[in-house]
Homo-oligomer: A and B are copies of this chain.
Amino acid sequence: MQIPLDRDKPVPLARQIQAHLERLITARLLAPGVKLPATRELAQSLGVNRATVALAYEELVAAGWARAHVGQGTFVAGPPAGAAAPAAPPAARPLNWSALLSRSARIVESDGERARAAAPGAVRDGVISFAGGMPDSGLFPTDAFRRALNEVVREEGESLLQYYPVGGYPPLRRYLATYLLRFGLEARAEDILIVNGSQQGFDLIARTLLDPGDAVAIEQPTYPRAMQVFRSFGASLLAVDRDAAGPRVDAFERLLERQVPKFFYCQPCAHNPTGLTIRRDVAAGLLAAAARHQVPVVEDGFDGSLYYGARPPAPLKALDRDGVVVYIGTFSKVLFPGLRLGWLVAPPPLAERLRAAKQLADLHTSALIQAAVHRFCERRLLDRHVARIAAEYRRRRDTLVAALKRRMPEDVTWTEPEGGFSLLVTLPAGLDAGALLPRALERGVAYTPGAAFWVDDSGERTLRLSFSSVPGGKIDEGVRRLGEVVRAARRRPAHPVERVAAPTV
């Protein structure tokens, strides 16, 4: 630790050390519980007598700033009651940071302010939450993964912990090439780029294709964080409405006749928030229109593994004869979101540009994580895990749909998800899901208001119910509470001013 000492001052050195530490503790620069340096160590680094440091520590302990544990050392306790916070010296020439922000940062700021202004507080105990669009961590194969991690560090640690080529860990890329063939998607290992989850996929695609002022066509409703990324690069979003069969081909074609978007973004399988899957003829129609108009399709490929029907649909990329599709895959849904591991499959000229963008963004994705996931997959542990969670999520979906049928007023409708983690409910005309959320939270149930999934902020009658992380036994009770809230609201509609948006994943 560096403590500026003034040996010419009349203030004793011990007192100077003490005052400096008090200031650091009050400013939370030294947090409670932090161990102070050993007296000998600090004395040496400051060039003072050890007794001087010991005296300073004793004073701190005596006044309640620190606690001494014999044989262990001296630990920060926090400022004693009544200690005045020292005023930070004001900056003489503070920078005006907002004047320095880039256009992108200003867009992100205003998007973020909108979300923050409407963010709910923490959800209290006892609330049944359908709001989190994540897998259930109670189902994680944590221990098996720990063993895989252990093995790869033991066997290849040195090379996995060194700088690594940007494309990714070759065995994982080979595994993915074979894995994707299950869904009919043909990609060579060297055409697969490993990225930090699908979020980084959006980002790399956006920075490679978008300039300020460009347009992006996007199905509606859609995943909010994809919209945010495209907007942050200065793009405007053009909505293509969906129905139960997928994005409407006629609407897409009309749009392409009038405008030239840089690409079209969609989630054909297990769509978030609806859980719906695109019909084969709709997929073919979209691809034909895209190729005719020379517009790339960015496919956010929640893959066929978490599909609850008889046979998962083919990804658009598997049907793509013209090389227009860029595919984004992820391990966040089928394995662990926290690994931040996903991949891109792009036509070669674009793939090379995405690789260059990835290298500039963060050099490469942790090879250690890649190798551990590969080891886990190679042992067929992923297949076993996915079979287990798909069965569980299918049960939860069935329970949720049954509960909605039983508990909801007749004029409430919802999508019937064939995959994924969630479904979308539409409330009767006149109700606003955002405005209703505070009442729902009070009644003990949480959800995600649907407005965030719409490009044009319509959709205020909708809400997303995610069933993936709600224990099966709580689903019916959660829906019962929600039904009550909806019924009560029809008698006394909430004022839209109260509208609240939950964080979305």
A interface residues with partner B (beta carbon < 8 Å): 1-2, 4, 24, 27-31, 34, 89, 91-98, 100-105, 108-109, 112, 134, 137-138, 140, 142-143, 145-146, 149-150, 153-154, 157-164, 174, 177-178, 181-184, 186-189, 195-197, 199-200, 203, 207-211, 225, 228-229, 232-233, 262-263, 291-292, 294, 296, 314, 318, 321-324, 336-340, 347, 349-350, 353, 356-357, 360-369, 505
**Which residues of B have CB within 8 Å of A363?**
196-197, 199, 225, 340
Closest 3 CB pairs of A and B: A2-B184, A142-B157, A161-B336
**Which residues of B have CB within 8 Å of A262?**
100
**Interface pair A200/B361, CB less than 8 Å apart:** yes
**Interface pair B146/A208, CB less than 8 Å apart:** no
**Interface pair B323/A91, CB less than 8 Å apart:** yes
Q: Nearest Cβ distance between residue A400 and chain B, in whole angstroms?
A: 21
**Interface pair B209/A102, CB less than 8 Å apart:** yes
**Which residues of B have CB within 8 Å of A208?**
101-102, 104-105
**Interface pair B353/A368, CB less than 8 Å apart:** no
Q: In the complex, what distance in Å separates the CA atom of A99 from the CA atom of B4?
A: 58
**Which residues of B have CB within 8 Å of A146?**
150, 153-154, 157
Other A-B contacts than A29-B177, A29-B186, A196-B363, 7 sampled, CB-CB below 8 A, are A93-B291, A98-B349, A102-B207, A102-B233, A103-B211, A140-B162, A199-B360
**Interface pair A339/B161, CB less than 8 Å apart:** yes
**Interface pair A362/B2, CB less than 8 Å apart:** no
In the assembly, how many copies of this chain are there? 2
Q: Nearest Cβ distance between residue A211 and chain B, in whole angstroms?
A: 5
Given that A203-B360, A340-B363 are contacting pairs, would A31 and B104 also be in contact in the complex, using a CB cutoff of 8 Å? no
Q: Nearest Cβ distance between residue A27 and chain B, in whole angstroms?
A: 7
**Which residues of B have CB within 8 Å of A161?**
137, 140, 142, 145, 336-339
Q: Which residue of B lies closest to A295 (CB)?
A: B95
**Which residues of B have CB within 8 Å of A95?**
294, 296, 322-324, 347
**Interface pair A207/B105, CB less than 8 Å apart:** yes
Q: In the complex, what distance in Å separates the CA atom of A364 from the CA atom of B196?
A: 9
Q: In the complex, what distance in Å separates the CA atom of A154 from the CA atom of B142?
A: 8
**Interface pair B361/A199, CB less than 8 Å apart:** yes
**Interface pair B294/A96, CB less than 8 Å apart:** yes
**Interface pair A112/B356, CB less than 8 Å apart:** yes
Q: In the complex, what distance in Å separates the CA atom of A253 from the CA atom of B323?
A: 53
**Interface pair B154/A1, CB less than 8 Å apart:** no
Q: In the complex, what distance in Å separates the CA atom of A350 from the CA atom of B94?
A: 12
**Interface pair B150/A347, CB less than 8 Å apart:** no
**Which residues of B have CB within 8 Å of A24?**
181, 186
Q: In the complex, what distance in Å separates the CA atom of A143 from the CA atom of B25?
A: 35
Partner of A340, one of B103, B145, B291, B362: B362
**Interface pair B145/A153, CB less than 8 Å apart:** yes
Partner of A350, one of B97, B177, B337: B97
**Interface pair A159/B137, CB less than 8 Å apart:** yes
Q: In the complex, what distance in Å separates the CA atom of A50 from the CA atom of B339?
A: 39
Partner of A27, one of B112, B183, B186, B321: B186
Q: In the complex, what distance in Å separates the CA atom of A34 from the CA atom of B365?
A: 24
Q: Which residue of B lies closest to A207 (CB)?
A: B104
**Interface pair A188/B29, CB less than 8 Å apart:** yes
Q: Nearest Cβ distance between residue A393 and chain B, in whole angstroms?
A: 16
Q: Which residue of B lies closest to A185 (CB)?
A: B2
Q: Which residue of B lies closest to A187 (CB)?
A: B29
**Interface pair B178/A30, CB less than 8 Å apart:** yes
Given that A27-B186, A163-B505, A182-B1 are contacting pairs, would A367 and B347 also be in contact in the complex, using a CB cutoff of 8 Å? no
Q: In the complex, what distance in Å separates the CA atom of A446 from the CA atom of B365?
A: 27
Given that A92-B321, A96-B294, A108-B360 are contacting pairs, would A162 and B2 also be in contact in the complex, using a CB cutoff of 8 Å? no
**Interface pair B30/A181, CB less than 8 Å apart:** yes
**Interface pair A338/B361, CB less than 8 Å apart:** no
Given that A98-B349, A337-B162, A366-B369 are contacting pairs, would A2 and B323 also be in contact in the complex, using a CB cutoff of 8 Å? no
